[in-house]
Amino acid sequence: MSNQYSNVMLASFQAIVQAKGVIRNGKLVAFPTETVYGLGADATNDVAVASIFEAKGRPQFNPLIVHFSNYSDISEYAEMSRYATTLSRSFWPGPLTMILKRKPDCGLSHLVSAGLDTVAVRIPDNHMARALIDASGVPIAAPSANKSGHISPTTAEHVAKSLGDKVEIILDGGECEVGIESTVLDLSSDVPTILRPGAITASQIEDALMRPIEVHSVNIPMSAGVNDYADACKNKVVYKSPGQLTSHYAPSIPLRMNATVAKEGEVLLGFGSAENATLNLSYRGDLSEAAANLFAMLHILDDKKYKGIAVMSIPETGLGMAINDRLHRASAPRK
Q: Rule CB under 6 A: choose which of 32, 59, 63, 139 binds ligand TXA.
A: 63
Give the binding-site size for ligand TXA (rule: CB under 6 A): 28
- Cα distance from N-terminal residue to C-terminal residue, the chain: 54
Query: At closest approach, how far in Å is the CB of 274 from Mg ion?
Result: 35
62 binds ligand TXA (CB under 6 A): yes
Residue 45, contacted partner among Mg ion, ligand TXA, none, CB below 5-8 A by kind: none
E strands, 117-168, are: 118-122, 140-141
Question: For residue 281, how many other CB atoms are within 10 A of its CB?
Answer: 25
232 binds ligand TXA (CB under 6 A): no
Closest residue by Cα to residue 176 from 32, 6, 41: 32
Query: At closest approach, how far in Å is the CB of 137 from ligand TXA?
Result: 19
Q: Indicate the residue among 97 and 331 with the shorter CB distance to Mg ion.
A: 97
Q: Rule CB under 6 A: choose which of 59, 94, 139, 143 binds ligand TXA.
A: 143
Binding mask 86-105 for ligand TXA (x = CB under 6 A): ---------x-x-x------
Q: Indicate the residue among 29 and 142 with the shorter CB distance to ligand TXA.
A: 142
Residue 116, contacted partner among ligand TXA, Mg ion, none, CB below 5-8 A by kind: ligand TXA
Query: At closest approach, how far in Å is the CB of 170 from ligand TXA?
Result: 13
Q: Indicate the residue among 29 and 312 with the shorter CB distance to ligand TXA.
A: 29
Distance CA 241, CA 220 (A): 8
Distance CA 314, CA 286 (A): 10
Distance CA 80, CA 19 (A): 29
Query: At closest approach, how far in Å is the CB of 54 from Mg ion?
Result: 16
Is residue 265 within 8 A of residue 306, CB to CB? The reply is yes
32 binds ligand TXA (CB under 6 A): no
266 binds ligand TXA (CB under 6 A): no
200 binds ligand TXA (CB under 6 A): no
- In sequence order, the 6+-apart residues with CB closer than 8 A to the CB of 213 are 185, 191, 192, 193, 194, 202, 205, 206
- Read out DSSP for 203-228? HHHHHHHTS--EEPPP---TT--HHH
Residue 36, contacted partner among ligand TXA, Mg ion, none, CB below 5-8 A by kind: ligand TXA
Q: CA separation (Å) from 214 to 122, 185, 196, 197, 201?
A: 20, 9, 11, 11, 12
192 binds ligand TXA (CB under 6 A): no
Q: Indicate the residue among 160 and 232 with the shorter CB distance to Mg ion.
A: 232
Q: Are strands 279-280 and 308-312 parallel, antiparallel or unpaired?
A: unpaired
φ and ψ of 141, to 5 deg: -80, 135
Query: At closest approach, how far in Å is the CB of 312 from ligand TXA?
Result: 28
Query: At closest approach, how far in Å is the CB of 56 from Mg ion?
Result: 8
Residues forming the site for Mg ion (CB under 5 A): 144
Q: Indicate the residue among 35 and 282 with the shorter CB distance to ligand TXA.
A: 35
Distance CA 105, CA 45 (A): 13
Residue 51, contacted partner among ligand TXA, Mg ion, none, CB below 5-8 A by kind: none
Sign of CA dihedral 163, 168, 173, 178: negative
- Read out DSSP for 92-123? -SSSEEEEEEBPTT-S--GGGGTT-SEEEEE-
Instruction: Write out the residues near ligand TXA by the rule CB under 6 A.
Output: 33, 35-36, 38, 62-65, 95, 97, 99, 113, 116, 118-120, 124, 142-144, 181-182, 184, 195-196, 239, 241-242
